[in-house]
Chain A
Amino acid sequence: MSNRLTTGGRLLDRARQMTFSFNGVRMKGYAGDTLASALLANDQMLVGRSFKYHRPRGIVASGAEEPNALMNMGSAARFEPNQRATTTVLFEGLKAESQNHWPSLEYDVGAINSALSKFLPAGFYYKMFIHPRPLWKHVYEPFIRQSAGLGKAPQQPDADTYEHFYAFCDVLIVGGGVAGLQAAHVAGKAGAKVLLLEQAAHWGGRAPVDGGELDGASPQAFVDRMVAELSGMPNVTMRLHCMGAGVYDHGYVLGYEQLDQAVRGAPRHRLWRIRAAEVITATGAIERPLSFAGNDVPGVMLASAVRDYLINYGVCSADRTVVVTNNDDAYRTAIALKNAGLSVPAIIDARVLPGDSALMAEAKEMGIRVLMGQAVAKVLGSKRVRGIEVCAQAGEGAVLEQIRCECVAMSGGWSPVVHLWSHCGGKLVWNKDYALFQPDLENPPTGADGLPFVTAVGCAAGPITGTDFEGLSLFDTLRGAVEATISVCERQGIRLRDMPKVPTVVEYDEEPLHPIWLMPQGAGPKLRQKTWLDYQNDVKVSDVQLAAQEGFESVEHAKRYTTLGMATDQGKLSNINGLAVLAKALKEDIPQVGTTTFRPPYTPISMGAIGGEARGEVFQPIRRTPMHGWHEKNGAEWEPVGHWRRPYAFRQNGENTHDAVMREVRNTRANVGLLDASTLGKLIVRGPDAGKFLDMMYTNMMSTLKPGKCRYGLMCSENGFLMDDGVVARISDDTWLCHTTTGGAERIHQHMEEWLQTEWWDWRVYVANVTEQYAQIAVVGPKAREVLQRLGGMDVSNEALGFMEWADGTLGGFECRVYRISFSGELSYEIAVRAGQGQAFWDALMQVGADLGIMPYGTEALHIMRAEKGFIMIGDETDGTVIPQDLGLHWAISKKKDDFIGKRGQERSHMTDPDRWQLVGLATLDGSVLPDGAYAVGSGTNANGQRVTQGRVTSTYHSPTLGCGIAMGLVHKGPDRMGEVLSFPGTDGAIYKAKIVSPVFYDPDGAKQNV
């Protein structure tokens, strides 16, 4: 059984005991524990079930590469699935539950899949469920979906907060092991602005566990000295609990920081958005498992993890541990265990070396039995290791002996963590001697200047010494870090004052590993079917071989077919072993098969961190007019228009929205209504060439407009499509004010600036967006003039201020500009006052107009009134494919001008095609309302076998003025077909009949607006 030793555990604070629970059972751990070490200390070997076969799974690793120990963590609004126990720092009250089992972890019904595994090979689902087709959607998919997924989805909104943080540095170093610390030290001393990130809770990485001597002291002493010196450098920033998650173009790097939840109110995660001139990856290496039958039984662990748990957390994984290896490093685990007084019945070393290596000799001296050239034939036990059967590596698995043990510490060699190097295009090379992929120094990720911007150092760089088998040694790790960092500084033009020295190192000479991809070499089908590559996704050696046999030769295809490396650990343990098996099956070399793509993030990061502050009230900016608060208090039902919120209608005294809209239209037509029109864009265009410029921007002639006058204008894209409209007022000889649609202000401002800056840079025109300088209120209806006259201050009579004119003056003491324009067909004034006075002016209008029946109206009433008048709305009658000619707006397209934006587009044959659908009014025969967007059908079918259509509804409303449905639509040859009845099938199954009529339903002569 695994338990806690009475002494040891360099990262523990034994004075601070903590209580946590796993599957509802209370357990105890110490400050400094990870959840994984605490579980092992409580003899919790079994921590989860695998994805496909529901196999019992235990903790394998001690870091971010862990594939098995994924937990449902927390509860309610703080519930989170798939949390890695090995990287979760234990805290008081932590609640964890294992995943993917029913009814319990110990007795899981889904484990039947394991018994059926022979019938569930790679590609089973693809082959099995493809026929008959309809069954997929209705039977298979729902069933598979129900059984899929490791963790549970949270049921409540996340109670925590998250944030982003923008950081900038000369040199970003990812990884705070000895290589990262050494690199930071060199760059820091040179004066570079350094940011050093370490994902774990401690500096120093593996070195303090793995031993050796640095500058005559222990690795820990070296680490402590480095950390102390770096802390004293003002140009160096160090962050623990912060993972380098992804490297992107232009030196953009994401850091994922987990904050101390003991601080009240602190965000849970902080996403660092870093711009670094250079990135150094000191991300270390990950130990590879060995492929032997039963290598997934709880108790089979990485040799390095067994060592970590022992030395870092004082946790002994078992009384008896057998070490299985193909390299020297795993001997360290055997020696450490022995030193702790634990039993190591044997070291099974698949190699046959000519003589003993230094570590081997030491192990033997301690009395550990070393079995050369041997292998694990099979692990005994199912929920726990009970022992192993030993065989010759060279054979097919004939059992030589059985060894009783509770833990198997395996090591298949080490793979550099090349993820961050690879994210931005860094290439890899296969190092045959070490059997690993390492960064290809000839092909680094390059920046915009063509120079490398990512440098790998330490174990992450792989061996750099060629063939003398010291490549992953402590000495080369530090030497590489120093040399690479000097190059980085030189490239950045940072001058080193003193040449940094590489620390003196005392360490074991290691013998080369022997690549072992299957144990034993000749393992038959029976063993291969129990030999796991990917623990989380249940991919076995036999699956990869099957994929190769079935023709999945590309590693990317084999990955997707078998799901190797596609689980939440992204194959950190399984990829190299998997592609070695694939290469062998394809009879190719490993570098020919290649690796799959490394994509960010390195390990999963929370969705909350990605969203950052953007949640709740600041999820999305809401733009508010100066009268927003009043609208809110007076029953406004909001309509989002861009980021603005505009009142859709103001509901009074319990009426429903429809009734409110009807009342607002009737009241405006009979009395007077107020509309908050502040959101309409207002662009000032000024300069000697402003007239010429506006003649290009608009289809109409704006240069001939007289000061004091207004003109409705259309704006088209280069292709001739209508993109915005609005009233233009000429303010003075050289100044115009252009109104845009609500959503168009920024877009049209940008459009104007683009033409001025890129095409007509020599035209003397300046544009300013003054949209928000003004509150603009439309006073609309037959009593509008009386309201303004009651306020007084300027002459608003028809004689003084005619239709389509504007004037400056005061009303009720408010400085204002009054535009006599109408979008409703009524007598109408749009009055602009300074934004800060908007509310006061609105109040004044409401007060003086009270006995005249003044009422605010919203956007829906506005829409109905404009539709009654046959006025088009950008976004309703237009959709990016409509030209003004389609809408009968020929009158607004100047024929006198040589050019305007869109003119040539509108001359293309398709634009002048008489078959284009054209705007008409549509009146239902029974007075009902046509469904929005409905199509008018013709007879027969088109080339695609679809029913022929001949028009569609663009706007449709119930008109309270006319007491019936009114609509506009685009219809094939519409204007020539007045009186024809069209059929519009609705989605409700009914067929709506409507007659083609003029789009102007109300006051066609315009008498009402011109009084």
Chain B
Amino acid sequence: MILMGRSRMSEAVSALDGLVWDQGIARIEEVGPQGMITLRGDLGSGTIKDLATGVTSVDMPGQSEANCVADRGICWMSPDELLILCSYEDVAMNLQRIQKGLGDAHALAVDVSEARATFRISGDHVREVLAKLVPVDLSTEAFKDGMFRRTRMAQVPAAFWMCNDHMVQIVCFRSHAQYVFDLLKTAAAPGSEVNLL
């Protein structure tokens, strides 16, 4: 028996292996492995709420909101779906905890950590860079801390939230990672400030 994978088991590889670009009006960074669990169920039920908040130690978000602290958080995806964020290492443990906690309740919890890619863009122009790609009102008065949006980024699906006023976190499908990275680079081209948001 050859144990080739053993040493790599814990070594998660994200889609772009942490690629960074910093030559434009925003810094673009692919964030390394991020734990993600899709949890579908009755979001009004105490069981679901307790499990989601229990494994993340953050409060339940409202509709179209996300509560995120560092790599932990809960994002509201739809009336019956949450995206649970946790450290990559804790996914298996948390998934088990959720599945055990759900018992016979009708719900679905699956690991989607590997199905996604995560980006952070930062700098003074993050809102503008994003507003070139997503049909969302990104003015400070409209898109505030704690809001979460699933939308279209140019030609692919994506979701995002503001980490703070100078940083936004984007989640997309893993297979689109290179496209999204190139897209963000294009939108952040030097000299392309809109000077609006």
Considering the complex, which residues of chain A in the window 675-702 have a beta carbon less than 8 Å from any beta carbon of chain B? 684, 686-688
Q: Known contacts A621-B156, A840-B4: does B137 contact A815 (CB below 8 Å)?
A: no
Main secondary structure of the interface of B (DSSP, over half): loop
With the chains together, A766 CA to B6 CA distance in Å?
33
Which A residue sits closest to B178, measured CB to CB? A624
Instruction: Output the residue of B14, B128, B174, B179 with the most chain A CB within 10 A.
Output: B174
The chain B residue with its CB closest to the CB of A615 is: B186
A919 and B135 CA atoms in complex are apart in Å by 47
**Among the listed stretches A262-270, A888-896, A940-948, which one makes contact with chain B, having 4 or more residues with CB under 8 Å of it?**
A262-270
Residue A119 is within 8 A (CB to CB) of chain B in the complex: no
- Assuming the A-B contacts A621-B179, A771-B115, are A836 and B196 also in contact, with contact meaning beta carbons closer than 8 angstroms in the complex? no
Interface stretch (choices B57-65, B68-76, B102-110): B102-110
CA A263 – CA B25 in complex, angstroms?
A: 13
Mark contacts of B159-185 with chain A using CB atoms, 8 A cut-off: 1 yes-contact digit, 0 otherwise.
000000000000001111111001100
Q: A161 within 8 Å of B by Cβ?
A: yes
Contacts of B134 in A (CB 8 A): 166
What are the residues of chain B within 8 A of A686 when measuring CB–CB?
Answer: 108
Bound CA span A217–B155, Å: 52
> B189 near A839 (CB under 8 angstroms)?
no
Please name the residue on chain A nearest to B9 by beta carbon: A813
Interface residues in A832-849 (C-beta closer than 8 Å to B): 834-837, 839-841, 843-844, 847-848
Contact with A along B117-139 (1 / 0, CB 8 A): 00000000000100111111111
* Max chain A Cβ within 10 angstroms of own Cβ: one of B33, B141, B178: B178
- Quick check: is A163 within 8 A (CB to CB) of the other chain? yes
Interface check B93, CB cutoff 8 A: no
- B192 beta carbon closer than 8 Å to chain A: yes
Are the CB atoms of B155 and A684 closer together than 8 Å? no
Docked complex Cα distance between A812 and B135 (Å):
46
With A237-B196, A265-B191, A766-B41: A773-B142 Cβ-Cβ less than 8 Å: no
- Shortest CB-to-CB span from A691 to chain B, Å, is 14
A772-B175 contact, Cβ under 8 Å, with A166-B132, A266-B192, A813-B3: yes
Q: Say whether chain A's binding surface is mostly helix, strand, loop, or mixed.
A: mixed
Query: Which residues in window 812-829 of A have CB below 8 A to B?
Result: 812-815
Taking the closest CB of chain B, its distance from the CB of A423, in whole angstroms, is 20
B8 contacts partner chain A, Cβ-Cβ < 8 Å:
yes
Number of A-B contacts (CB under 8 A): 171
Which residue on chain A has the smallest CB distance to residue B92? Answer: A815
Bound form: Cα–Cα A340–B14 in Å: 72
Residue of A with least CB distance to B104: A688
A802 to chain B minimum Cβ distance, whole angstroms, is 22
Asked whether A265 lies within 8 Å of B5 as measured between CB atoms, the reply is: no
State which of B6, B183, B189 has its C-beta within 8 Å of the C-beta of A813. Answer: B6
C-alpha gap A477/B118 in the complex (Å): 53
Q: How far is the CA of A193 from the CA of B139 in the complex (A)?
A: 11
Complex interface: stretch among A288-296, A511-519, A785-793, A988-996: A785-793
Question: Which residues from chain B contact A773 at a C-beta distance below 8 Å?
Answer: 110-115
Q: Least Cβ distance of A166 to chain B in Å?
A: 5
Give A887 Cβ to nearest chain B Cβ, in Å: 30
Most chain B CB neighbours (cut-off 10 Å) among A161, A165, A237, A771: A165
Residue A432 is within 8 A (CB to CB) of chain B in the complex: no
Shortest Cβ distance from B187 into chain A, in angstroms?
Answer: 6
Residue of A nearest to B143 (CB): A168
Q: How far is the CA of A270 from the CA of B136 in the complex (A)?
A: 17
Please indicate the chain B residues that have their CB under 8 angstroms from the CB of A167 in the complex. 131, 196
Cross-chain contact of A623 among B3, B7, B40, B176 (Cβ < 8 A): B176
Docked CA distance A815–B41 (Å): 28
State A793–B13 Cα separation when bound (angstroms).
22
B70 to chain A, nearest CB (A): 21
Contacts of B176 in A (CB 8 A): 621, 623
Instruction: Assess whether A768 is in contact with B110, with CB atoms less than 8 Å apart.
Output: yes
- Near A by CB (< 8 A), chain B positions 30-62 give 33, 38, 40-41
A residues within 8 A CB of B132?
163-166, 613
Chain B residues contacting A814 (CB-CB under 8 Å) are 4-5, 8-9
Q: Complex Cα distance A382/B39, Å? A: 79
| 7 closest A-B pairs by CB | A792-B1, A813-B5, A814-B5, A265-B191, A813-B6, A623-B175, A766-B108
B residues lining the A interface (CB < 8 Å): 1-9, 12-15, 33, 38, 40-41, 80, 106-108, 110-116, 128, 131-139, 141-142, 154-156, 173-179, 182-183, 186-187, 189-192, 194, 196
Further contacts, 4 of them, CB under 8 A, given A166-B132, A837-B8, A844-B4: A273-B135, A623-B175, A812-B4, A837-B13
> What would 30 A/B residue contacts be, using CB atoms closer than 8 Å?
A163-B132, A166-B137, A166-B138, A167-B131, A265-B190, A267-B189, A617-B182, A620-B155, A621-B154, A621-B179, A623-B179, A624-B175, A624-B178, A626-B15, A688-B106, A766-B80, A768-B40, A768-B108, A770-B110, A770-B112, A774-B114, A792-B1, A813-B5, A813-B7, A835-B15, A840-B4, A843-B4, A844-B4, A844-B5, A847-B4
